[in-house]
Chains A and B, each alone.
Chain A
Amino acid sequence: MTTRLEGPDKVTGKAVYSSDVRLPGQLYAKVLRSPHPHAKVMRIDTSRAEALAGVRAGVSALNGPDITWHDDTRLLDTTVRYVGDEVAAVAADSEEIAQDALRLIEVEYLPLAFDVVHGKAADTKVQERGNVLAGLREADVTVEETYTTGTALHNALESHGCTAAWEGDELTLYESTQGIFAVRDEVAEKLGLPKDKVRVITPHMGGGFGAKQIAWKHSVIAALLAKRAGRPVQLMLDRTEENLASGNRNATRQHVRLGARRDGTLTAIDARIEFQSGAYKVGGEDSDLTGTYMTLYRCENVRAEQTSMKVNAGASVAFRGPGYVEANFALESAMDELARRLGIDPIELRLRNYAVRDQSEDKPYTSPQSLRRCIERVADVFDWRRKRKGIGFAAHDWLAGGGWPPATVEVTLRDGRAEVLVGVQDIGTGPRTALAQIAAAELGLPVEAVDVHLGDTKPGLYGPTSAGSTTLATIGPALAEAARKAKKSGHGRAERGDNPQDKAIRTCGAQCAEVEVDLETGEVTVLRVVAAHDCGRIINPLLVESQVIGGVTQGVGFALSEERVMDERLGESLNANLEEYKVPTARDIPEIVNATESMPDLEANALGTKGIGEPPIIPTAAAIANAIFDATGVRIRDLPITRDKILTALNHETVRILESSHA
């Protein structure tokens, strides 16, 4: 089996990440951030900071260039809207000097009213077909419940950051990003440069999970400081900044109504959703919670309404399966509740209702039976029919996973080796390796004879942002075509064609979880998760398994322990660190069985492959929550499912009396 081609570079430290870049004369920058959740910046005095030995450049809300940022605010705005909002920045000979300089900047704030909990409704999106009220009237059994999910933070191992270097009027950014072209275009626009004057390089990156699919302010700040200082500037966020100011999975509140006939046929799905979008709308993939409700199950009467709420907290941004992860927890918990009320096995209920066509687009799916295959496969491998306490199931779909054209690929044969040139980046998911395998197979070469060049905008071969689990399905088919051409003439170039117009592409899957709960202490132990997903043709089984393990791991955190905690009186995050924001440890992670089968989807593209990056996180929380209900008899509808919630549910009267006696 082919292992990661870049693996040796990573384990030996040879692989260069953004924070490893060292250019001659390089400076280090730090950002001064707002200590207020909402305030007007009245005065900034940087004179003492500028006078500090080793400080080479500074920029602030009061002396920065007039660069428009999201929601028509400024790069460094004179109104700050959350704790962590950028106010000023300095570049110095060392990080320590830069940090010292920040303490010397005097800022006078006028605090303003703020809200970190409820917020103001920013925009509402409604999707609807049929008549939900009529559907509910038709139902023999209904479920009506409210589900909530917490704010989850990406916390990629590598923080956001870049090194910016100018040569004349040309800017090079060594950036930790999922989208080299997205960053190039946006930074060029903000700085008023032609696109070809900005070059973005990302040879390796240490995780993004969606939070690195857009250009953030730090890239432009680093470029401005580098220009002012006349020297390269490195600006890496620290862990606190990463937790405050680099995106999050928005908290949600979902009021769900389901109706079904006695035989389990769904007659209505209704969801009213509120989610916290943070202080700004920063762009990138939208968090669409309506999608899951509209498409996972066959149902004539569906309505999903989502309202984003602005709060004085860090902005939300795409996070692995954005919207689908949160919605899946609510819908698949509700389906479990419905199954129990109907007295129908939860898996059987899904098999009676899964959709074979995209009901929103009114098109058949390219792989209409792949969800059935995943459900049956996972039930089989998990041995679902063997009844035992503490088991749960969830199915999912995901809107993306097909191609995201345009994209251009070049293959050149030289001295018995093949050079593959693409404009995508390897965000840690392994496209270097998978693409080398595709080219090698077409060319009849060993995979070691293929060199894949990616992560650089300079050659000008466009590739899409790594988002929506689309990289392989976008580049793979075009690469196969370019390789075929190169085999004939020594050089081949191909463009990624459009997705099919008459059919809809989706990915989907199913997971089963087994848990053990100590009813006295509320301790949850996840014993086993079995996952089967539709990713079309599997190019590299090890890379697929890596994504399944990673997604389920992140899903365990979302289900059981990860949540940003805010003090609503202070507007402060209380756990902007890895001590109190609890990502799961190796001991929290169960045996994860990857039961994913190769099922080439030749209607999706000629190679038959689809993405696997996001799907594995999507159904994990619901499968675990359903297993916890099965183990305890109490239904926790609020993620993460921590001990306090389980113990409070199990000892409801006692705990309530204790807590109210103090107030």
Chain B
Amino acid sequence: MRPFEYSNPATLDALLGAIGPQARPLAGGTDLLTLIKADLATPERLVNVKALLPRGIEAKPEGLEIGALTTLAEIEEHPVVRDGYAALAQAVSLAASPQIRNLATVGGNLLQRPRCWYFRNARIDCWLKGGEECPARDGQNRNHAILRGGPCYAVHPSDIVPALMAFDAAVRVVGPDGERWIELEDFMQPPTEERRTETVLAPDELVTAVRLPPHPEPTRSLYRKAMDRKIWAFALAGVACALRLSGRKIAHARIVLSGVAPVPIRAEAAERELLGREPSADRFAAAAGAALQDARPLRHNGYKVPLTQALVRQALTTLTE
């Protein structure tokens, strides 16, 4: 770890003035500190946001608002989340370890960097770190992207983001130009030549809250995740699914895939296979097929196609049992 300064602004304005490419906001630190220790991030200054950003979950007319500093553990234990947003509570339970969930914040979860083993090794040059090429593309890529891959094939590590996306979450962003709400689906974007990060957040902006719009009951939801061991591992593939029936027909469906693309992605083709139809094994198989229709696996990750399809089928089956 290289030396850095630490600053503790007194107001939100001072905080916004203080952050930038070399002055990074510090909340739970569960990702940023690991990046610094691995020499992958070398900020000159860390700026404490813990005293200034909102923390806690509030039911508002516009929906459930989760302050950026709310810890994963607080989300997991919140009765409204457990009752009305099961996929989110399940995703949190399957993320990281209890110790990390006690510190990690929802804001930080959105902004965490990939766990790709090429990206995380400071000795290895990679496109995401500003290099020319992605070494995973023709390397050890069993954990990597099968959808929307290239130039970066790392997958986004979050379990929380896909669950939030399944509830059409929006993100409140504050920056020099004031405050705006962005749909989470638009906030999460695969890296581009100019912006080698996984979100559209600028270095001088902060995430201050996440909002889940109210959903008419009864919407059932679920998060499933395949790992290399039972717990404490990032997803090889995952699916967040929210479903509402009207009579015997599916009136609303959200299917969001994790662990298979540079950012969690909505499988809209799969959703279309379900809308207006009655639940059945054949329907679910068609949806699972549609979810992966654009899959382009690499040499070592073709297994993710049958795996993700199975997770989608199993999630839909469980939700309609």
Contacts and interface: CB of A to CB of B under 8 A. Distances in A.
B248 interface: no
A575 interface: yes
A83 B122 CA distance: 13
B262 interface: no
B232 interface: yes
Contacts of B228: 561, 582, 642-643
A567 B124 CA distance: 11
Given A574-B117, A587-B231, A648-B303, A662 B313 contact: no
A648 B299 CA distance: 12
A41 B83 CA distance: 62
Given A521-B307, A582-B233, A662-B297, A565 B302 contact: no
B229 A644 contact: no
B282 to A, nearest CB: 16
Contact of B124 (A570, A575, A658): A570
A515 to B, nearest CB: 13
* Residue of B140, B229, B231, B233 with most chain A CB atoms under a 10 A cut-off: B229
Contacts of A108: none
A643 B295 contact: no
A3 to B, nearest CB: 28
Interface in A90-115: 96, 99-100, 103
Given A659-B298, A659-B300, A662-B297, A572 B236 contact: no
A558 B124 CA distance: 27
A651 interface: yes
B124 A572 contact: yes
Interface string A629-663: 00000000000001110011011001110110111
Contacts of B298: 659, 662
B2 to A, nearest CB: 8
A525 B231 CA distance: 12
Nearest to A520: B310
B1 interface: yes
Given A520-B314, A579-B115, A585-B231, A570 B135 contact: yes
B307 A522 contact: yes
A172 to B, nearest CB: 31
Nearest to B295: A658
Nearest to B122: A35
Contacts of B124: 567, 570, 572
A663 B301 contact: no
A525 B230 CA distance: 9
A74 to B, nearest CB: 24
A572 B123 contact: yes
A522 B228 CA distance: 10
A442 B313 CA distance: 66
Contacts of B226: 521-523, 643
B287 interface: no
Interface residues of B, number: 37
A588 interface: yes
Interface in A575-598: 575, 579-580, 582, 584-585, 587-588
A387 interface: no
B306 interface: yes
A644 B142 contact: yes
Given A574-B140, A585-B232, A99 B1 contact: yes
B121 interface: yes
Contacts of B314: 520-521
A655 B236 CA distance: 16
B117 A580 contact: yes
B230 A655 contact: no
B140 A567 contact: yes
Given A582-B229, A643-B307, A658-B297, A35 B302 contact: no
Contacts of A570: 124, 135, 139
B297 A659 contact: yes
Interface in B290-321: 295-303, 305-307, 310-311, 313-314
A582 B115 CA distance: 14
Residue among A100, A103, A588 with the most chain B CB within 10 A?
Answer: A588
A523 B1 CA distance: 38
A647 B306 contact: yes
A35 B232 CA distance: 29
A83 B123 CA distance: 10
Contacts of B142: 644
B118 interface: yes
A70 interface: no
Contact of A575 (B117, B135, B236, B303): B117
Nearest to A659: B302
Contacts of A647: 303, 306-307
B39 to A, nearest CB: 9
A651 B228 CA distance: 19
B236 A643 contact: yes
Q: Interface extent on A, as a size class?
A: 35 or more
Given A565-B140, A572-B124, A521 B311 contact: yes
Nearest to A522: B307
Contacts of B233: 582
Nearest to B236: A643
Interface string A451-474: 000000000000000000000000
Nearest to B39: A103
A127 B300 CA distance: 37
Nearest to B137: A662
A650 B3 CA distance: 51
A429 B222 CA distance: 44
A366 to B, nearest CB: 40
Contacts of B236: 643
A388 interface: no
Contacts of A580: 115, 117
Given A520-B313, A647-B303, A561 B229 contact: yes
A565 B117 contact: yes
A569 interface: yes
Interface string B1-25: 1110000000000000000000000
Contacts of A588: 229-230
Contacts of A582: 228-229, 233
A1 B311 CA distance: 48
Contacts of A584: 229
B199 to A, nearest CB: 22
Contacts of B306: 520, 647, 650-651, 654-655
Contacts of A566: 140
Most chain A CB inside 10 Å of its own CB: which residue of B123, B232, B296, B311 = B232
Contacts of A103: 2
Interface in A484-523: 518, 520-523
A574 B141 CA distance: 11
B169 to A, nearest CB: 27
Contacts of B229: 560-561, 582, 584-585, 587-588
A575 B310 CA distance: 28
A644 B1 CA distance: 36
A462 to B, nearest CB: 42
Q: Point out which of A523, A525, A644, A648 has the most chain B C-beta atoms below 10 A from its C-beta.
A: A644
A324 to B, nearest CB: 25
Contacts of A655: 297, 302-303, 305-306
Given A647-B306, A661-B296, 20 more contacts: A520-B310, A521-B311, A522-B307, A567-B135, A572-B121, A572-B123, A574-B140, A585-B230, A587-B229, A642-B228, A643-B307, A650-B306, A651-B303, A654-B302, A655-B297, A655-B302, A658-B295, A658-B302, A662-B298, A663-B299
19 contacts: A100-B3, A521-B307, A560-B229, A561-B229, A570-B124, A572-B123, A580-B115, A582-B233, A585-B230, A587-B231, A643-B236, A643-B303, A644-B142, A655-B306, A658-B302, A659-B297, A661-B297, A662-B296, A663-B299
Interface of B: 1-3, 115, 117-118, 121, 123-124, 135, 139-140, 142, 226, 228-233, 236, 295-303, 305-307, 310-311, 313-314
The 8 A-B residue pairs whose C-beta atoms are closest, nearest first, are A520-B310, A659-B302, A587-B230, A658-B302, A655-B302, A574-B117, A647-B303, A644-B303
